[in-house]
Amino acid sequence: MEISTVDKLQKKALKKSAPDLTKLGFALFFMVGVLTFSFLSNGGIPNNMFLAVAALIGAYMAMNIGANDVANNVGPAVGSKAMTLTTAIIIAAIFEAAGAYIAGGEVVKTIKDGIVDIAGFGGNSSHFIWAMMAALLAAALWLNFATMMRAPVSTTHSIVGAVMGAGIAAAGFDVVNWTTMGGIVASWVISPLLGGIVAAGFLFAIKKSIVFKEDKVQAAKIYVPIFVTIMSLAFVTYILLKGLKQVWPKMIELINMLPLISMEVTKNPSFGVAFSIALILSAFVYIIVKKRVSSSTTALENSKASVNTLFTIPLIFAAALLSFAHGANDVANAIGPLAAINDAVVSGGVSSSASIPFWVMSVGALGIVIGLAL
């Protein structure tokens, strides 16, 4: 999508958004609510106020992430008029929150304890807490400024750089896990390249199978459901592999209660199992979408403009999937340092095996949603 299109979407969002004072009021209410909840629910713990302030900054960071990235998630669908901006924001809010809650834990752990090693702080948890708070505040302020300037900057770059910089300033270069940093930086290079290759592949397939065909309507009836099915197959496989680790063993236990079924209880599904389940569910998606597309093509002309209307479903589907993935990935940018501070305050250290508290995940998920809405 062109930069000018993103700018138009942002201007449109500003026109549709609530007045500035109302937005500020909602934001302050959420931040004060998070501060109060954190302070009261963790009362009696030493350094509780540090945790409460960190929670407030995490809420501020999460709202900035939601506000800055809204055009990235729903821009293509809104720009192509597949749905209105209001509908797009509602869909984005639902799937952002779902992604954060269901699949956000893995990335949170990387930000929490993968970039800097608390052992490098010489056992001084106070220095670690201050470093994480500095990183969180610095990234949040930068994102706030970038959003005001309508600059679609990377929230991941912001928080990773802030955590690394704060760690180096507090404990030197040795505190940084350079292997993890290398992997993160490599992903920054690989992701746009792979995204471009996949997008080019889909565009080529669409043009070859539909746009350049003589009977475009008939071709669309065949291939649009297939494209949506491919998207759903990838999405469901991803959900099963990354988002169900907490509940997968219990699901297997329930399935084993059925007659003639005996499955090994594992922490998470293998790729083969996840793909098989996704394949079955995607078959249902194919049937539903094919029926919908078939009914929509009866009144269509055999022209490119008419056929383009059939891509409303894939665009909405893509916006939802992108919002889910964004919520799963970028919630860590808001609450990764907060989760680390929570560990340091509650237990005096940062554990890679400790689960992320639900209230911490909620700060990130709800903050992103509020940032989107405002």
**Residue 207 forms part of a structural domain:** yes
Model confidence at 306: pLDDT above 70: yes
Is the separation of the CB atoms in 154 and 184 below 8 Å?
no
Tell me whether residue 316 is in a domain: no
Helix (H, G, I), strand (E, B) or coil at 98: helix
116 pairs with which residues across the strands? 176
Q: At which of 242, 266, 301 does a domain end?
A: 301
All residues at 6 or more sequence positions from 18 whose CB lies less than 8 Å from its CB, including other chains: 26, 374
The answer to whether residues 39 and 168 belong to one domain is yes
Domain total of the chain: 2
Higher pLDDT, 207 or 101: 207
Please list the residues that pair with 176 across neighbouring strands. Answer: 116
User: Does one domain contain both 170 and 136?
Assistant: yes
Of the candidates 305, 373, 339, the residue with the CA atom closest to the CA atom of residue 94: 373
Instruction: Name the token pair of 218.
Output: 């008939």
DSSP label at residue 239 = I
Own/partner long-range contacts of 182-187 (Cβ < 8 Å, ≥24 apart): 184/110, 184/115, 184/156, 184/160
> Is there a domain that residue 366 lies in?
yes
Query: Is 108 in the same domain as 182?
Result: yes
Percent of the chain with pLDDT over 90: 8
Same domain, 223 and 173: no
Instruction: Specify the amino acid at residue 290.
Output: K
**Pick from 266, 301, 336: which residue ends a domain?**
301
Quick check: is 315 in a domain?
Answer: no
Highest mean pLDDT among 109-113, 254-258, 306-310: 306-310
> Is 341 found in the same domain as 225?
no
Lowest pLDDT segment from 28-32, 121-125, 162-166, 314-318: 121-125
Residue 309, Cβ density class (10 Å: 0-12 exposed, 13-18 middle, ≥19 buried): middle
Taking residue 97's Cβ as centre, other Cβ atoms within 10 Å add up to 23
Q: Provide DSSP, 123-184.
A: T-HHHHHHHHHHHHHHHHHHHHHHHHTT----HHHHHHHHHHHHHHHHH-GGGB-HHHHHHH
Nearest to 96 by CA among 288, 321, 350: 321
Residue 310 lies in a domain: no
Residue type, 233: L
- pLDDT above 60 (res 14): no
Dist CA 92 CA 191 (whole Å): 21
Considering the domain boundaries, does residue 57 fall inside one? yes
Shared domain check, 139 and 63: yes
- Higher-pLDDT residue of 255 and 324 is 324
CB neighbourhood size of 287 (10 A): 12
Considering the domain architecture, whether residues 334 and 278 belong to the same structural domain is answered as no
Lowest mean per-residue pLDDT among 13-27, 147-161, 305-319: 13-27
Is residue 297 assigned to a domain?
Answer: yes
CA 221 to each of CA 82, 295, 315, 329, 332: distance values in angstroms, whole numbers, following the listed order: 18, 9, 16, 34, 40
Q: Which two tokens stand for residue 37?
A: 């909840």
170 & 282 share domain:
no
Give the CA-trace dihedral at 275, 183, 188, 121, to 10 degrees: 120
Tokens of 191: 């992701």
What would the mean pLDDT of 343-371 be, rounded to a whole number? 77
309 belongs to a structural domain: no
Task: Give the tokens for residue 299.
Answer: 């009144």
Q: Tell me, what's the pLDDT at 1?
A: 47
- Collect all residues with Cβ–Cβ distance below 8 Å to 66 and sequence separation of at least 6: 96, 367, 368, 369, 370, 371, 372, 373, 374
For residues 252 and 135, state if they share a domain: no
CA dist., res. 66 & res. 366, Å (int): 10
Tell me the three state secondary structure of residue 116: strand
How far apart (Å, rounded) are the C-alpha atoms in residues 329 and 111? 10
Q: Residue 9: pLDDT band by 50, 70, 90 thresholds? A: low
Do 194 and 82 reside in the same domain of the chain?
Answer: yes
Domain co-membership, 108 together with 252: no
Tens digits of residue pLDDT in 216-238: 888 888 888 898 899 889 888 88
Same domain, 44 and 185: yes
Whether residue 58 contacts residue 335, with contact meaning beta carbons closer than 8 Å, is answered with yes
Q: Distance (Å, rounded) from C-alpha 110 to C-alpha 114?
A: 5
The DSSP output letter for 301 is: -
Expressed as residue numbers, the domain containing 293 is 216-301
CA atoms of 147 and 72, how far apart (whole Å):
13
Q: Please tell me the least confidently modeled range out of 78-92, 306-320, 349-363.
A: 349-363
How far is the C-alpha of 357 from the C-alpha of 190, rounded, in Å?
31
Residue where one domain finishes, among candidates 250, 268, 301: 301
